[in-house]
Amino acid sequence: MGGANVEEADITDDVPSGARRLNVWLRRTRQNKVRKVVREVYLRDDIVPEIFEGADQIVVLDTNIALHQIDFIAEDTCVNHVIVPYTVLQEVRHRHMGTYARLRALCRVDVHADAGDDERAAAELEGESMPIVRGRGTALDTGSARNARRFAVFPNEFFRETFVERRPDESVNDRNDRAIRRVAHWYRRHVVGPEVILLTDDRACKAKAIADGLVAFTAREFAERMRPQFPDCGERLAFREDDFEETAGGSAGSTPAATPRGEKRKGQSQDMERGSDGAVYPPHLKASEVERGLKEKRFFQGTLRMHMNTCLYASVAHGAEEVEIQGRLLLNRAVDGDTVVVEKLDGASAQAHAQRGDKRLRREVADSEFGAGEGDASKAPSGTQALMESALELAKSFSDPEARPKGRVVGILRRNWREYCGSLKPLHDDRKENVTAFDKADRMFIPTDSRLPNIMIQTRHSGNLENKRIVVVLDGWDRFGHYPRGHWTQVLGEVGDRATESAVILHEHGVITREFGDAILRCLPPADWQPGPEDLAGREDFRNLCLCSVDPPGCKDIDDAVSCERLPNGNFRVGVHIADVTHFVHPDTAIDREAAERCTTVYLVERRTDMLPGLLTTDICSLRGGVDRLTFSVMWEIKPDAEIVDTKFCKAIIRSQAALSYAEAQAKIDDHSDRSKLTVGLRNLNKLAKLIRAARMRAGALELASQEVKFELDSETQDPTDVAEYTLRETNKMIEEFMLLANQAVATKILATFPMFGVLRRHPPPKDEALKTMGKLLAKHGISDFKYGSNKELGASLGRAVKPDDPYFNQLVRMMATRCMNQAVYFCTGEVQPELYFHFGLAMERYTHFTSPIRRYADVLVHRLLAASLGISPLPQQLQSKPVIAEQCEKINVKHRMAQWAGRASADLHTFMYFKNKGKQSAEAVVTRVRRSGMQVVVQRYGIDGVVPMPEEEWDIDEDQQTVTSKKDKKVKIEIFRRVIVNIEADATDFRNRTRLTFERCLGEQERLEAFEAMEEKRKQVVKEMFPDRLIPEAN
């Protein structure tokens, strides 16, 4: 190194003389108040360095390496014998918790000493505690016994010889850089043999280290140095070539001077030209100009949301309106989910100029697919993407697209980058011949999510990654590059393999699939657990009650059972018994923290990813027949006319008589010769359920529909297609009614006891714009009396929307109404006004989820609230803070939506695989909506809800009137509910597995290819063939 002849700095110059120090800083609280924090620190003198036996070098990490090169240091075998200064650990903790968790896992304590050690290690991971020091001051080697590469945390902030005081006028960042260099100096002086290397991507820090006599490398330089020993090293290096010029608002070297106050920025179109410095994109504004523009209301900020199936059309909410941003130049390197600063465009001239700039970009890269091919809006979105649109987006789509305001991105406040799954674009034939000659090849990565741009990566394993699904992380996107840069981190498997494609779905939707760790498994009871005297204390003994569970076929995680017996006074004692999961999952334990992070069990077509370990979900907590199980029970005394006399909550022990499927329970009810006690109880439950359901419907509860089956709106916890292959029977509705009743009763109880800390579920009313548009469409088809002022009016209107000659019409109308609905959400009662607690779809003033704690973390919280309200156990600390509860509820809402979309994406995958095997098919479809990209249709025979693209060269698309008219023959006009013939085939273009629909012809008004009943039978047969091993989640 250049600094080899430089005299080493004297690190003893500013060593503190005393052992006691006060750290003082200001912290903003959740209530937006500023609090002064003073922490007393005692510096030690008895810490000795961690000795890596046999090491030829010791690597000291800088913060920027830990933050931006975590994949490299965590997974590349060339990085070993690593010292992580405590300064680095804390800086990473404050800046990115995900990276902190990975870094801490590398240095995690993994010893089976005693419970105190485990708790202390967990506290160190979660809290602000000092590092553990063992024995005579030797810094604890926190590397796992399984981790032969050895990572260790060095407590430099608590060691007198490495503690660094902040100098006057010195920034916190500069002080921390100096502290990290001090650690490297100290190791160099006290460790004999291994070479001490400082790893930093900060040029200034590296220069100072070399000037002080240290050996310092950037991550890329270090990888090149280690390549003779590790030929494959550096594959996971993040692309960081422009890190040193980046500023908060953009690139320092390319940011224009700020506009004087009050002066309008000149020439919006001028910014669209290629920069004189060779830049492809216009620069982002400086942070100071962004702040001034926001204050003067010239700009606004918001979250960028790409339109379905494209990375070129986006919108940002600005109050009640949506500002559209179209084209690569106007998007200016922003991707879906980024928090951006937007400037509205003055008129069509700037938009047209930007479009010309986009054409220039396509010419520059000599690729006709640049931009247009990446998420082409002319290609139809998948069924999953179509159903992901909210009611607001639905209403917006019916408005005039030309009237929507236009804008452009002038700055990016926060990136929303994550890991992306996809495949490498195949090489052209001329490059295939020479690919082995490349030392490092540039390859184009195509994300499976078409809302993202293609990403350029560098790899030495180009040939090995062909036709593979891989995971890529974005590193950066400077204004000189047509594409963002990234690096690959993981190979998931072969393209087209079902297990691989399912892994892609789980990864893309943020589903946690890791194995449950040792700390979690140590929280479980023994595998042969049986309830003992300590488990039965304070419980009701219901083992003599005649009760059973009724679930989907093959269900293993049985979390509810029901009972019904006649009382001497002629009333019924009805019970809903729910698995007592919280008896085994205690607050703030490792298993509880894991469940709080996963939030829900995720069901794909052929597999599920559990929220809790299998020992609990399918065994100890599962209410299987013939075994003793612990429950949290709701008991009612109900009159024969379904009037509730009394409600009681208790913990109990039960022994289920049978674990029945819906079909088996229905068969018992229908078998009049069966007069067993169990069957009589089921019949009574069924009679009561019908009365309760009728009362709910009179109160305004809605009955909506998917393309396959009817479902109650509360059943949002399952994906509609997951119940497609079996018929809904009376027993389905019976169980659903009593689960709803239990949820409602528990909601009322916990709200009365904890009005500020309750966890409830609310369902906001639908958007009037969407229902108003729906009413106009129905009026064109003779349904003129469509009212929606309340849920009761809407329910009545849906009931009247029938056509005697078309039995499928009402189901289509209910499907359209489903699209207009908002999503139900969990919330903290102390954070929402009481008048907003109402559940619109169920017509209930108070509602929560209590009945599925095995697979929903919200139910676990509700169980704890109910237990505290009954005095069974104290209220946990996590449920005594409104901000903490609200944060957890929001996490649950996000995970719940992702689980729904993952389930739908899995159904889409299996539909694609079905048509890949079957080849091109034709079928009748019904138009349910006209979109800018084409017609949304329902193909009843195959249970497909998708979009048929209609080329603009051949068709006039009128979103406002919801019509599509042929340009060749104006008489050919397609409206909502029109029946058409579509072709269906698998489309694997760009490795994005889609089921493509194309228009063939219109059907005549009286023409029907098949009768409704015959088509339903064929659909059921097709579904069995598509999903032969489908798992069916329970509805409630």
Express each pLDDT in 405-451 by its tens digit: 889 999 999 998 889 999 999 887 555 555 554 467 889 999 999 88
pLDDT of res. 491: 93
Using CA atoms, how far apart are residues 289 and 270, in angstroms rounded to an integer?
18
pLDDT of res. 799: 84
pLDDT of res. 84: 93
Three-state SS string across 372-400, please? CCCCCCCCCCCHHHHHCCCHHHHHHHCCC
For 344, the token pair is 């509205």
pTM of the model: 0.80
Are residues 451 and 309 in contact, defined by beta-carbon separation less than 8 angstroms? yes
Are residues 491 and 457 in contact, defined by beta-carbon separation less than 8 angstroms? no
Are residues 223 and 83 in contact, defined by beta-carbon separation less than 8 angstroms? no
For 1011, the token pair is 């009768």
pLDDT of res. 214: 93
* Torsion angles phi and psi, residue 264, rounded to 5: -75, 140
pLDDT of res. 949: 92
In the chain the first and final C-alpha atoms are separated, in Å, by: 66
The number of helix segments (H) and strand segments (E) in the chain equals: 28, 40
Residues of 737-773 as b/e, b for ≥16 C-beta within 10 angstroms?
bbbbbbbbbbbbbbbebbeebbbbbbbbbbbebbbeb
Q: What is the DSSP annotation of 509-566?
A: TT---PPPPHHHHTTSPPTT----HHHHTT-EEETTS-EEEEESTT-----EEEEEEE
Using CA atoms, how far apart are residues 357 and 541, in angstroms rounded to an integer?
75
Using CA atoms, how far apart are residues 336 and 483, in angstroms rounded to an integer?
15
Q: How is residue 435 annotated by DSSP?
A: G
pLDDT of res. 258: 39
Place of tokens 């090491």: 55
Using CA atoms, how far apart are residues 253 and 945, in angstroms rounded to an integer?
49
| Biggest CA pair distance of the chain | 99
Where the chain has pLDDT below 50, the residues are 1-6, 109-148, 242-267, 269, 368-369, 372-378, 383-399, 437-438, 707-726
Calculated CA dihedral for residues 546, 551, 553, 558, nearest 10 degrees: -90
pLDDT of res. 680: 94
Using CA atoms, how far apart are residues 375 and 307, in angstroms rounded to an integer?
10
Q: How is residue 31 annotated by DSSP?
A: T
Using CA atoms, how far apart are residues 705 and 812, in angstroms rounded to an integer?
8
pLDDT of res. 1017: 67
Are residues 848 and 750 in contact, defined by beta-carbon separation less than 8 angstroms? yes
Using CA atoms, how far apart are residues 220 and 215, in angstroms rounded to an integer?
15
Using CA atoms, how far apart are residues 548 and 561, in angstroms rounded to an integer?
5
Q: Identify which of 856, 552, 863 has the alpha carbon closest to the alpha carbon of residue 716.
A: 856
For 58, the token pair is 């010791």
Sign (positive or negative) of CA dihedral 242, 327, 370, 909: positive
